[in-house]
Amino acid sequence: MIGIVLDNISRLDLNLLVTLDVLLDELNVTKAAKRLNLSQPSVSVQLAKLRDYFNDPLLVSNSRGMTPTLKAEQLRQPMKEAIAHLHEVVLPTAEFDPERAKQRWRIAAYDYGEATVMLPLLPALRAQAPLSELSIVQLPPTQIYEKAERGEIDLAINVVSNSHLNLHHRTLFSDQYVLAARKGHRLLNGPVSLDIFCQLEHVMVSPDGDGFWGETDEVLKALGLKRNVVLSVPHFLFLKAILETTDLVAMLPSRIAMMSDLIQIVSVPIQVPDFTISMLWHERVHRDPAHQWLRKQILLAVT
């Protein structure tokens, strides 16, 4: 089996993968040739070899240029990753120069991570790496490993869970849930008993939008109690706005609650476990100087 694989690879000039990568970017043999510093006929011959190797036309002509085949589309991402790995292997590791670098980072973070990590990070990032770009995407925690492995994200800000065991991670900070409500709330002018806590109308965050059950409810269940959750929203920052303008209350991460002058924190007679926010990244970018620099900036921003 291994012999068959090696035979197949030995038939393939790895430079052809670089050519195919550029061809799929440009969808034009002449433009690809210019980028590769080759003549158009050379690239045409290389395309013919690729077609023979993959037994597929890869690019087909149409009235507006060339269109990639399904096979070419399927090859595109794994090929980019393979080329990136090859670069890591053969190129000497250069120092990262943030001032000159045109780096593009892709970070997965929900609004809590945006508010507590990305917001403090941005001023330093813009000042020190003015030519670089940052893209923040929202991603379910279960997809972080897969996307990081495929190179679709570089870093994630999240709670470490079982699905992240194969990723590197570094703890950023811990946070605790506190009872938050607007200042001047008519029922919160004194100590809050468990009975009152359960009678209050709660709003909670459920990023996937289908949850009326959280850590707080687990704690209450163990005490034989149940709170009154009337609203579930996908974002902490939307929840903050709700608390500022209604009599709803919420168990909110303290860092979010303290961001608003209109919200008060009320002590409650239950203890919900703290949670820890970490940054997570794949082995793929572990030794990359640009990514090492970014991770250092994040640590500096939150500590």
Partner DNA sequence: AAGGATGAGATTGAGAGTCA
Partner DNA sequence: TGACTCTCAATCTCATCCTT
Task: Output the CA angle 250-255-258, nearest 5 degrees.
Answer: 75
- The verdict on 272 binding DNA (CB under 7 A) reads no
Q: C-beta of 8: minimal distance to DNA in Å?
A: 16
Q: Which residues contact 32 (CB under 8 A, 6 or more apart)?
A: 19, 22, 23, 25, 26, 43
Q: C-beta of 42: minimal distance to DNA in Å?
A: 3
Q: C-beta of 71: minimal distance to DNA in Å?
A: 15
Q: CB-based burial of residue 30 (10 Å sphere; 0-12 exposed, 13-18 middle, 19+ buried)?
A: exposed
Of 33-41, 94-102, 198-206, 276-284, the segment contacting DNA by CB under 7 A is 33-41
- The verdict on 12 binding DNA (CB under 7 A) reads no
165-168: Cβ within 8 A, 24+ apart: 167/280, 167/281, 167/282, 168/280, 168/281, 168/282, 168/283, 168/286
CB closer to DNA, 15 vs 199: 15
- The verdict on 29 binding DNA (CB under 7 A) reads yes
CB closer to DNA, 44 vs 264: 44
Task: Output the CA angle 246-250-252, nearest 5 degrees.
Answer: 125
CB closer to DNA, 48 vs 230: 48
Dihedral sign from CA coordinates of 156, 161, 163, 165: positive
Residue 267 CA to residue 265 CA, distance in Å, equals 7
Q: Which of 6, 14, 45, 300 binds DNA (CB under 7 A)?
A: 45
Q: C-beta of 73: minimal distance to DNA in Å?
A: 18
- The verdict on 297 binding DNA (CB under 7 A) reads no
Residue 262 CA to residue 266 CA, distance in Å, equals 13
Q: Which of 6, 14, 48, 230 binds DNA (CB under 7 A)?
A: 48
Subset of 53-72 contacting DNA (CB under 7 A): 61-63, 65-66
- Amino acid letter at 150? R
- Residue among 279, 239, 234 at smallest CA distance from 256: 239
Q: Which of 20, 46, 177, 290 binds DNA (CB under 7 A)?
A: 46
Q: C-beta of 17: minimal distance to DNA in Å?
A: 13
Q: Which of 18, 28, 69, 219 binds DNA (CB under 7 A)?
A: 28
On the CB side of 208, how many CA atoms lie within 13 Å of its CA?
9
Of 37-45, 103-111, 201-209, 219-227, the segment contacting DNA by CB under 7 A is 37-45
Q: C-beta of 47: minimal distance to DNA in Å?
A: 5
CB closer to DNA, 22 vs 155: 22
What are the two backbone dihedrals, phi and then psi, of residue 271, each rounded to the nearest 5 degrees? Answer: -120, 110
CB 26 within 8 A of CB 32: yes
On the CB side of 55, how many CA atoms lie within 13 Å of its CA?
1
Q: Which of 17, 18, 35, 42 binds DNA (CB under 7 A)?
A: 42
Q: Which residues bind DNA (CB under 7 A)?
A: 13, 28-30, 37-42, 44-49, 61-63, 65-66
